[in-house]
Amino acid sequence: MASKIITTRDGSRSVFSNRFQQHYHNIAGALTESRNVFFDNTGLSKALAEHRDITLVEVGFGTGLHVALLECMRKRTGSRSQVHYYSVEKFPLEGDVVRRMDFGRICPGMDEVVGRIADALFEARDGESVSVTITPDKPAVAEKGLPDVENTAGTPFTRVEVFRSDFHDWDLSVLNRPAQIILHDAFSPDTNPDLWTVATFRKLLEAADPHAMLGTYCSATRARAAMILGGWHIGRVQGPPGKREVSVASPDAAMLSAFKRVNEELLMKRFREELS
């Protein structure tokens, strides 16, 4: 069955997943939600604007929207950050579907760059990685395998590496260093429960910097309990259009001082038996 592309209320596009019976993004505004939840709440926007180098892990590459948005933010801020972007995808979309997301409107050229990543990922076998280095002045080429980034001193770049497999089979020891930013962008806990388990958040914690920030659009009590039991502290944030509240998390409670908090003790007590 052909994947149905829709235009969300802020004019950006999303796609409906026939497998999960859910849209990939918030229909009240795909781009608006991504910017709020994954870029602003986690501090990624600020890190780019301050030219800090970033290691980022994404759960669920999907359409590749966040790669396009990252390059848009890089252009807007003139960021010189060196970004290592690691992602995982179990059910890759075809490049043609990704091209119909029209990422060129978000950042010129990104429809083709992300389209090429999607082509290579779709062709890849389970357990293989696809990697691309995007630099402001050099076209990106999608390759299989893990080539090193050459001659990188001072050069801004985004190195995207997407692992084609189940998240739980992903060897996160490949990261160049512990992740400072985590984009947890699975489908909702009721349709994609395997990505909202305590084991999921423990695995992410093991790959994370002690001061890492994790963003998710989810505010469900049970999902928050899984994060807490997985070793994360939770902050509550006002959601983008269509969502009352979303969550941000860190292994370091001090990183959440600007946010309202949840009663972690209570959630742990309530869910410990059910979730362990």
Ligand X SMILES: C[S@@+](CC[C@H](N)C(=O)[O-])C[C@H]1O[C@@H](n2cnc3c(N)ncnc32)[C@H](O)[C@@H]1O
Q: How far is the CB of 60 from ligand X (least distance, A)?
A: 3
* Given 71, 89, 119, 161, the residue binding ligand X (CB under 6 A): 89
Q: Which two tokens stand for residue 259?
A: 């946010």
* Given 13, 35, 84, 90, the residue binding ligand X (CB under 6 A): 90
Taking contact as CB under 6 A, which single stretch among the options 116-124, 182-190, 222-230, 263-271 is the one that binds ligand X? 182-190
Question: 125, exposed or middle or buried, with CB in 10 Å at 0-12, 13-18, 19+?
Answer: exposed
Tracing tokens 């019976």 back to the chain, one arrives at: 21
Q: How far is the CB of 61 from ligand X (least distance, A)?
A: 6
**Distance between the two ends of the chain, CA-based, in angstroms?**
38
- Could you please report the per-residue DSSP string of 188-216? -TTT-GGGSSHHHHHHHHHTEEEEEEEEE
* Given 37, 118, 120, 186, the residue binding ligand X (CB under 6 A): 186
Look at strands 129-134 and 143-144 and give their pairing: antiparallel
Q: How far is the CB of 276 from ligand X (least distance, A)?
A: 20
187 binds ligand X (CB under 6 A): yes
* Given 50, 126, 190, 194, the residue binding ligand X (CB under 6 A): 194
Side-chain-side CA neighbours of 226 within 13 Å: the count stands at: 21
* Smaller CB separation from ligand X, 226 or 267: 226
192 binds ligand X (CB under 6 A): yes
Contact of 163 with 58, CB cutoff 8 Å: no
* Smaller CB separation from ligand X, 2 or 254: 2
DSSP 251: S
* Smaller CB separation from ligand X, 191 or 221: 191
What separation in angstroms does the CA of 174 have from each of 67, 109, 123, 127, 171?
A: 19, 28, 22, 13, 6
Question: 260, exposed or middle or buried, with CB in 10 Å at 0-12, 13-18, 19+?
Answer: exposed
User: Site mask, ligand X, residues 6-45, x = CB under 6 A?
Assistant: ------------------x---------------------
Taking contact as CB under 6 A, which single stretch among the options 77-85, 102-110, 184-192, 251-259 is the one that binds ligand X? 184-192
* Given 6, 50, 51, 91, the residue binding ligand X (CB under 6 A): 91
* Given 8, 12, 42, 63, the residue binding ligand X (CB under 6 A): 63
Q: Which two tokens stand for residue 256?
A: 């959440």
Q: Contact residues for ligand X (CB under 6 A)?
A: 24, 60-63, 65-66, 88-91, 166-167, 185-187, 192, 194-195
